[in-house]
Amino acid sequence: MSEVYYNYVDGDWVESETGDTFEVVNPADTTDVIGGFQRSSSDDATAAVEAAADAADEWADVPGTERGSILTEAARHMADRTDELTETLTREEGKTLTEAGAEVQRAVDIFEYYGQKAVDFGGEVKQPGSRDANLYTVEEPMGVAGLVTPWNYPVAIPAWKSAPALATGNTVVLKPANGAPNVFRKVVECLDEAGIPDGVVNYLTGPGSDVGGTIVDHDDVDVVSFTGSRSVGEMIHEQAGANQKRVQTEMGSKNTTVVMPSADLEEAAEIVGAGAFGVTGQACTGTERVAVHQDVHDEFLEELIAYADGLEIGPGLEDPDMGPHFDRDHLEGTLEYVERGRDADGTLAYGGEALEGGEYDDGHFVEPTIFTDVDSDAAIMQEEIFGPFVGVMSATDFEEAVELVNDVEFGLSTSIVTRDHAEANRFRDAVDFGIVKINEKTTGLQYYVPFGGMNASSSETFREQGDAAIDFYTITKTVYENYGRR
């Protein structure tokens, strides 16, 4: 019998009113049951929102220094439990220990960063238009923040949504993805140990339609932040916007790296390979397309195949180069795209097979996959696959390469590998993507600068992370004070 874990509502660990649970398993070994989690209902979500609303005014009145101290203390508890959090993340999501450890450290850094930001949080003083007067702004929290987060970064994304919300005086209701809820549940334990007041943080698991839908729709929720699929994100944006809530959605993408003749091709293959096959390709910033100048296409392809062939694939707890797919559906989805690539007359240059036998039998393992000779408008080059899958295209010149980058509906992260600085600057200006990288993989982000996409990747309302997150969770009052008038 696996252990059963509870929701955290109004300062207590509580069972769902449904009495039902669901199991979470290790994607590398589905016989390894992580535990049972609450199959919460709309009523459970309503109780969590009401608890957050009841605590909102008091938490907003807590001085920023005190709020910051709690976040910093929570970060210390997280750091003390780094090994535990890392193993938990690997077991439930599938990342390698190295990848999971980096994500846990990022979550620690985020809480520390916003712990300091809470101290600096305030407004601006401006010159008044008359004597004996003051003119200034104050920043106030929005109120209750409803946060809906995905499975692929199950501690970093909840951290970068909840920490700035808390730092600025908002209360939080957070629904993690059902497939990987345990690692952030342990972060909530750290917040509880750090002294977060009752009702300020609320965490509950369950169906998105019941729990997530109630959070988005509830009148007491003032601001909604979502990361996940495009279809759900667009629905949430429409729902929340219709109710006059402030909303932020980050959805999928189809990201291209450009390789120019001046590039070191072995280095370029490492950049593309890490962006395409790192975290098993399960990142919205992952590289799924490559536009290579025709003069170096064949040599680059050889280098990329050699990179893929050198990857060790296995259970994340063994810390290989690449772990399993998150679940059976995602594995089958990748394999289906392999067949669609063949149907589109593409050339399967490497991989494309599920791995079986021995330690692979109870997990969701697949080879890294490389296609070439595929048109940009083919399904495998337009639809987000979310797996270790990349298509390599040939470009006659720089201008065509940029056209290929922009030849998708999305616009989250793109990069170019070149030694030509002017070429890099032209690329930066010409692409319609929220994140532009020069001689770097499309994945991997700093937590203190804005993050967000363009076009179908994002609602394009507010950015996440850095000071941009402070802006999202606050509203400005402008104060005119005339103290000379009697």
310: tokens are: 């050198």
- In whole angstroms, what separates CA 364 from the centre of its chain? 22
| Amino acid in position 168 | T
List helix spans (H) across 168-229: 182-193, 213-217
Which residue out of 284, 290, 313, 395 is catalytically annotated?
A: 284
Cβ neighbours for 199, distance < 8 A, ≥ 6 positions apart: 10, 11, 51, 52, 54, 55, 59, 171
Report the length, in residues, of the chain: 486
168 phi and psi, to 5 degrees?
A: -95, 5
| Amino acid in position 289 | R
Residue that the structure tokens 């009052």 belong to: 477
Catalytic, 284? Answer: yes
209: tokens are: 């339609």
Residue that the structure tokens 């100048």 belong to: 293
| Cα separation, 426 vs 398, whole angstroms | 9
290: tokens are: 């490559």
Whose CA is closest to 274, among 144, 393, 142, 437?
437
471: tokens are: 């802006």
| Cα separation, 93 vs 323, whole angstroms | 9
Residue that the structure tokens 């952030």 belong to: 184
Neighbouring C-beta atoms of residue 319, cutoff 10 Å: 17
Residues linked to residue 23 through DSSP beta bridges, in sequence order:
36
Question: Hey, what's the torsion of the CAs at 429, 435, 437, 440, to 10 degrees?
Answer: -160
343: tokens are: 């149907």
Which is it for the CA torsion 199, 203, 209, 215, positive or negative?
positive
Angle between helices 82-93 and 182-193 (to 10 degrees): 150
Q: Integer distance in angstroms from the first to the last C-alpha of the chain?
A: 75
322 phi and psi, to 5 degrees?
A: -145, 135
CB distance 482 to 130 below 8 Å: yes
CB distance 333 to 387 below 8 Å: yes
3: tokens are: 């252990």
Q: Would you name the residues annotated as active-site residues?
A: 284
